[in-house]
Amino acid sequence: MRLTLKALSFIIILCSTGMPKNGYSTEPASGPILGLEDFIEIALRNNPAVAIARSQVLASEGRKTQAVSGYLPRLTAKGEAGRIHINDLTPVDEAGVMSGNLSANQLIYDFGNTTGAISASVYNIEAARAQLNSVGSDLIYQVKAAYYSVLEKHHLIMVANEQVKSYQMHYDRAKEYFKAGVKSKIDVTNAQVELTDAKLQLLQSRFALKSAKVALEKVVGTNPGEGTYLIQEQDLDLKQFINFLAPMPVSREELLQTATLQRPDLQQAQKAINSAESLLTAAQGGFWPTLGATASYDTYNTDLPTLQDQWQIGIALDWEFFSGFRTQGEVAEAKSSLRSYKAQMRDIELTVTQEVTNNFLLAEEQRESVFLANEILTLAEENLDLADQRYKTGLGDMIEFNDAQLRIAKARSNLVTAYYGYNTALASLEKAIGIYPDMNEPETKEIQK
């Protein structure tokens, strides 16, 4: 199934197209290499929330069929067998009787009672479809957030690996200096402590990646390839992150206009209002009569002369003048529901404005953070080089060198976090403006191993 997104030109769907890529896994694997779009397609097929929302659409369509049946004819057939005695009937006053009845009833007009129910059911189907789109929009964001979290944890492992290598070199060098009598034993011990701590950070990063993959698998609703899959990754050095940074949307105002037109929850709320208005019309129809047509045919098989085949056809007007205030109660309930849905609509409109604004500002913040983190990393690398040279020449001590190591480790981690935080913020912004996938029933597609 090809994923189609209702997206604007200024929104970048971050599938890392056109970039160098490789696949990786936390365990030895030989399965399929899956990218972001692959995980989205798998999630749309397997996530339980999608199945629930689709079932609700089907249930709404079933309720529409029930409502439409009110304007279709009712056909009934009945057969009976028994014995009848009629006093003073001649020449036979008692005999066995077999009878059959075929009847038809057709509603002609009921002053909006049935049409209101039909109209409400149609709007409820549209509301259920909007809910399905909303589930799809939420799912796209969850998949992207989980996917970027996995990539972030993978790059943090790379950062931790670099720290281990750096501290290992420093530890080896400290031992050589100690043997030569240039440095004291405390420098060796200190370097060993920092190396062990770096190994601990690496271990924690590896388990964080495994946890992130489990979270991704939960979102997509399955374990692709029975856990043998590889995750497609950008083969980028940290310093290259800034070159592949997606651009920001044009303006917050344009995003708000788009959200007003596209947000599935706004569409769902509007359909709920339309449905409530239709149900109010249906309830008010209870004050008026019901006009219908009836027809029936009776046939008898008996020796009694009074029972002969017969048919009838007619028009019926049924008007319940007083229902014990049931109709008044139904109208009051319908009016209250309509007011409630209108209030909910207003609340959703305010929520949309808040979400679009907050996510736009968050994306701006994360983007600026990437540039600053990149600048800090450049300075931290220069600072580490200086500290290393000073330590080699005896002008600097272990504390100065360790501080420089900590700064560069923090700078690398901050750049990774900011980069994937920006990607996640863009995904959240896409959700806020109402981008959702094609929620038609997907075709079954095997994941190749």
pLDDT tens digits for range 272-301? 999 999 999 999 999 999 999 999 999 999
Q: Are 317 and 294 in contact (CB under 8 A)?
A: no
Task: Give the structural domain span for 197.
Answer: 21-72+112-287+325-433
Which residues contact residue 336 at a Cβ distance below 8 angstroms, ignoring those fewer than 6 apart? none
> Is 226 contained in some domain?
yes
Instruction: Please identify which residue in the block is written with the tokens 């701590």.
Output: 197
Containing H/E element for 411?
helix 398-433
Instruction: Judge whether 144 and 435 are in contact, CB under 8 Å.
Output: no
State pTM to two decimals: 0.81
Residue 338 lies inside a defined structural domain of this protein? yes
Assess if residue 370 is contained within a domain.
Answer: yes
pLDDT for 198-249, tens place per residue?
Answer: 899 999 999 999 999 999 999 999 888 777 788 877 666 777 888 888 888 8
The percentage of the chain sitting over the pLDDT mark of 90, rounded to a whole number, equals: 58
- Residues 82-124 have pLDDT tens digits of 998 888 878 888 888 999 999 999 999 999 999 999 999 999 9
Q: State the CATH number of the domain containing residue 427.
A: 1.20.1600.10
In a domain, residue 361? The reply is yes
Q: What is the residue-wise DSSP string for 158-212?
A: HHHHHHHHHHHHHHHHHHHHHHHTSS-HHHHHHHHHHHHHHHHHHHHHHHHHHHH
Is residue 337, in this structure, part of any structural domain at all?
yes
pLDDT band at 443 (very low <50, low <70, confident <90, very high): very low
Q: What does the pLDDT read at residue 424?
A: 95
Q: What is the mean pLDDT of the chain?
A: 86
Q: Is 421 helix (H, G, I), strand (E, B) or coil?
A: helix
- In angstroms, the Cα distances linking 398 to 274, 275, 395 are 73, 73, 10
User: What is the helix (H) or strand (E) element at residue 231, kind and residue range?
Assistant: strand 230-234
| 395 lies in some domain | yes
Q: Residue 446 pLDDT > 70, yes or no? A: no
User: In sequence order, what DSSP letters do the residues of 90-116 get, joined into one string?
Assistant: SS-SEEEEEEEEEEEEEEEE-TTHHHH
CA distance 182 to 392: 10
Residue 443, in any domain of the structure:
no
Question: Structurally, how many domains does the chain consist of?
Answer: 1
**Residue 168 counted as domain residue:** yes
CA dist., res. 244 & res. 238, Å (int): 11
